[in-house]
Amino acid sequence: MAPMAIVSCGEAHRPERPIGGDLVVRLLGCGVGDSTTELIFSVRRASDAYKIIWSRFIWQPPLALALQVSIGGRACAVPRGLVHAVRIQCPGSNAGASSIQISVRSRPSNATSSGNPDGGASWRVPLVRRPLDGAREAVVCSGTAIWGSLDAQLAMLARSRAAWAAAGVATSMVFARDASSCNALERLPGVACDVRPAWGATLDVATTGWKSVDIDFVRRYFDQPLNQQLCLSYARAASIDFVIFADTDDFAPPTEDLILVQRRAREASLAGVKLFFDADGACPPFFCPKSPGDWQDRCPNATNDMALNHWKPLVAANRAADVSAHDFTPETPFERKQAWGRACLRHRNSEQRAVGAAPLAASRPRLMLTRPKWLVRKGHNGSISPPRQSCAENDEWCKLVRGRRS
């Protein structure tokens, strides 16, 4: 058996390229497996600036079906539009190659000769192999590119990396804005880093007229869900079972609880589980609520939206269609659930506030998995509710900016 490795597109952070039909695309990256290569793109109309949703993230307009993509002349599957990017599955074995030729063009109904006579773009992309230590069970992914003091981030990542290693998670995937930062981060055992430069003028146009403090916020977080999608592609290509999405200051749950959650996810054929974390420091140190009522009683000063912002995804790589900072979308017919009572992420703020407290109670409650509350209609057990906010059937922007997928 070949040694475990992540095979991905090197130098994937290229500028946008016109492909005809008033479309421009950006190659974000790829995950290369034994029988399939998965490509991640962004695409927009040249005449439209990118839109920012939820005050920080790039939104992907519904243009995926306008693309035709091939690798080495072999056609890829129909592109799939996600909330923040476009994902494309391409059949064939490329894992042994040193590079791949990726071609993208606008479908004939969109193609024009204006500004791009051949109506397409092509990249010769080198492939990069990074060995993976340990089992294929799980990796942890931090989608937000490293920011602030590199020394402080290195110290924090070293401590969280040790906690994840102790819980049996051998690899942390992280992102940085430049190669020198990535090189420093990869000196830590078990860290794999990708370079993801800022988008510069693209973000300047998207945030025209914004306050400087809000622009800084966008520059820090705009590509977090794009990087998370890359982690998902890498995991699928390397046949890794689970991806845990957590920041570099989130520490692993106790090993036995993390293993229990993954086992339950397998047994129940779940796409994944949402793990609780104390987003605003309102709970006692290392607190892991056993129910919604327990959460409300023990964390009365919480300010974030309880339905979303206190959860981070642990997903089965081959069962999750899309992912974001606090949520994920399952592939049909799989389901997602919330984990109560065990396997909470332990934020460094809890450690700082512990003052001698035991990390977790000696006797932990049972693990309970429940559907997120907004998925269930009142009085109708198990039925899936329509989105909270009503949007016109073809108004994709309305649906996505309201935070719900149809």
Region 352-371 average pLDDT = 54
Residue 210, Ramachandran bin (φ over 0: left; ψ between -120 and 50: alpha; else beta): beta
Where does residue 291 fall: left (phi above 0), alpha (psi -120 to 50 degrees), or beta otherwise? beta
Distance CA 311, CA 251 (A): 14
Task: Round the average pLDDT of the chain to a whole number and report it.
Answer: 83
pLDDT value of position 405: 38
Q: How confident is the model at residue 392 (pLDDT cuts 50, 70, 90)?
A: low
For the chain, the domains span: 1-252, 270-373, 376-406
Taking the CB of residue 183, how many other CB atoms lie within 10 A of it?
A: 12
SS3 state at 229 = helix
pLDDT at 2 over 60: no
8-state DSSP, 384: B
Per-residue confidence (pLDDT) for residue 385, from 0 to 100: 38
Rg (CA), the chain: 21
pLDDT by residue (tens digit) across 85-133? 999 999 988 888 999 999 999 987 654 444 444 568 998 999 999 887 7
pLDDT of res. 103: 95
pLDDT at 349 over 80: no
Beta-carbon contacts of 387 under 8 Å, excluding residues fewer than 6 positions away, are 399, 402, 404, 405, 406
Beta pairing, strands 270-276 & 335-340: parallel
The pTM score is 0.85
Query: Averaged over 66-74, what is the pLDDT?
Result: 95
Q: Are 370 and 338 in contact (CB under 8 A)?
A: yes
- Per-residue pLDDT of 14-44, as tens digits, reads 789 999 889 999 999 999 999 999 999 999 9
